[in-house]
Amino acid sequence: MKTVYDLTIRDKNAIEIEEIQLNMDNKQILTKLLKEYKYIKELSQYNLNINHKLLLHGHTGCGKTTTAKAIAKALGKKIVIVNLSNLISSKLGETAQNIQVLFEKAANEKAVLFLDEFDYIGKARDLEDTDAGEMKRLVNNLIQLIDYYPTDAILIAATNHLKILDAAIRRRFQINLKFELPTKAELDVYYANLLSQFPVRFREIKRSYEISYAEAKDRLNTQVKWKIIEELEQANG
């Protein structure tokens, strides 16, 4: 594993929350979250803690990582991005230590800790093999770290498989955001925004639907690239 100090970033390319393709419910939830941080001192006078543990779940490629980065940018915080599937060591004791170091680092820096593929540990907890007991201890340790994560830092976990997460883990999160495949209307707006950066002659593309934003962007970029290449080849004879 890389040292955790290599994982802390302040993403200058992160977009604003207002620019993310989110449904209205998710936008309202995030708007309220940011306002909690704006009035954190006033709320603390009434012994009211802010919500700082978010679980992002749903279809892949629909903006979970982008949302985490946008939250960090909006709050002026660094973000620690960890893919849990890559963190599991063959020695589970080392894995528990690595996770604890990550939590401590993010907490000390008052950063956003983003745990991607969060279901990996939740799913592994149910394995019936010789390491099942050790894995359960690992998950119990993770639950404790979540419980004591300080309110001046933010914990965001992301999963494409909400149903397989352990219930004890799921209920630790105060905010749940569901990311679904965009509708046709939402994708049309997204396509229009992406195409606006290109000359008009490259904007006629075949639009695909019932796909994620990430897939839509990849397909659009591929078509536009070939339009540009075809024009260049015609110009060069």
Pick the residue with more confidence: 178 or 84? 178
Whole-angstrom Cα distance, residue 58 to residue 208?
A: 20
- The average pLDDT across 35-64 equals 93
Q: Which CATH superfamily is domain 8-179 in?
A: P-loop containing nucleotide triphosphate hydrolases (3.40.50.300)
- The average pLDDT across 148-164 equals 92
- For the chain, the average pLDDT equals 87
Q: Sheet of 154-159: strands edge to edge? A: 8-9, 79-83, 112-116, 154-159, 53-58, 175-179
Q: Write down the pTM of the prediction.
A: 0.84
**C-beta separation of 117 from 83 below 8 A:** yes
Determine the Cα angle at 99 with ends 36 and 149, to 5°.
Answer: 25
- With b for 16 or more beta-carbon neighbours within 10 A and e for fewer, the 117-138 pattern comes to bbbbbbbbbeeeeeeeeebeeb
Q: What is the pLDDT of residues 191-220, one digit of tens each?
A: 999 999 999 999 999 999 999 999 999 999
End-to-end CA distance of the chain: 51
- The average pLDDT across 25-29 equals 93
Q: For the chain, give every domain's residue range.
A: 8-179, 184-236
Structure confidence at residue 122 (pLDDT)? 61
Share of the chain above pLDDT 90, in %: 62
Residue type, 88: I
Q: What is the pLDDT of residues 67-125, one digit of tens each?
A: 999 999 999 999 999 888 777 765 656 778 888 889 999 999 999 999 998 988 766 55
Tokens 């707006």 identify what position? 189
